[in-house]
Amino acid sequence: MKLIAVDLDGTLLNHSKEVLESSRQAIAAAAAAGVQVVVASGRSFPEAQRFVAGTACSEHVICAGGAAIVNRTSGVSRHTWYLDCQTAARVLRQGTACGMAAFAYTANQIWMEEADYNAIFSNMPGFRAQRDILHLCDGLPEAIAAHGMDVAKIMCWSLDQDRQRQTRARLSAIPGLSFTSSGPDNFEVLAAGAGKGMALRWLAQALGIPREETAAIGDAENDLDMLAEAGYAVAMGNAAACVKAQADFVTGDCESDGIARALTWLMERNM
């Protein structure tokens, strides 16, 4: 085992958005054995970087749902799979026209309309603290197009499941897109081919690590392609049923010893 990709929310982080001490120790033990533990998160790079600070995680971070691989030390992107600004603006226009709240993740910022932030996120634990990376604006599609920014991913949010399905079906007519989800209240739009699985494959190849010496740990739909790409797939005890069905091993949940047990199991594959 040489490379292990670990999801962040619901996996490495518990529901209080904390890294358990048992997880820190298990990552340190893996690193000491020569294993690179890479965080693979749907969050932006600045968010992911803050959560893994003080851990023995690898210098590489897979972020924005797999749309970017960034060096933690330098902050420089190793590789990106971005939507061009015109395609991103089109997705945002159609998403909002369907009644979804839509947010754009760029390299180091999250762009959203202030009304959406105030209605959804202003009191959400773990998000308000990241206000410094938010860029709040009016007319998000126009702002993205005007600034000519490539977009790592777009998150479309609604508690209405039917609205989500209808919007996702409508957006699927736009060429060059792929879709996933990090929870029941959203779906995510990325460039075609982008995702945690593609990022894991690219990083493993860049590091000269064969597939059979890689592993992935996750809990949600946006981890499925990563688990499929890895040599070993581990699902958290709190994972969605579709994730557990794809796993070689189901560990404990994110509130207990899930990461420690998972890393112990994976390290035993070396014996």
What is the layout of strands, in order, in the sheet containing 177-180? 134-137, 110-113, 101-105, 153-157, 186-191, 177-180
CA gap 39, 19 in Å, rounded? 12
Asked if pLDDT for residue 127 goes beyond 60, the answer is no
Record the pTM: 0.93
Phi then psi for 216, rounded to 5 degrees? -145, 145
Give the pLDDT confidence of 188-235 residue by residue, as tens digits. Answer: 999 999 999 999 999 999 999 999 999 999 999 999 999 999 999 999
Confidence of residue 36 (pLDDT cuts 50, 70, 90): very high
Average pLDDT over the chain reads: 93
CATH assignment of 85-191? 3.30.1240.10
Quick one: CA dihedral 203, 62, 30, 182, positive or negative?
negative
* Average pLDDT of the segment spanning 159-188: 94
pLDDT at 130 over 70: no
The reply to whether domains 3-80+195-268 and 85-191 share a CATH topology is: no
Which residues contact residue 47 at a Cβ distance below 8 angstroms, ignoring those fewer than 6 apart?
41, 63, 130, 133
Give per-residue burial for 246-267: e unless 16+ CB within 10 Å, then b: bbebbbbbbeebbbbbbbebbb
Of residues 108 and 162, the one with the higher pLDDT is: 162
CATH of domain 3-80+195-268: 3.40.50.1000
Helix (H) or strand (E) holding 77, with range, is strand 77-80
Q: For a pLDDT cut of 90, what percent of the chain falls above it?
A: 83
How do the domains of the chain map onto residue ranges?
3-80+195-268, 85-191
CB 69 within 8 A of CB 60: yes
pLDDT in tens, 42-59: 999 999 999 999 999 999
Contact between 253 and 237 (Cβ < 8 Å)? yes
- pLDDT over threshold 50, residue 129: no
Q: How do beta strands 214-218 and 232-235 pair?
A: parallel
The predicted-structure confidence for 63-115, as pLDDT tens digits, reads as follows 999 999 999 999 999 999 999 999 999 999 999 999 999 999 987 889 999 88
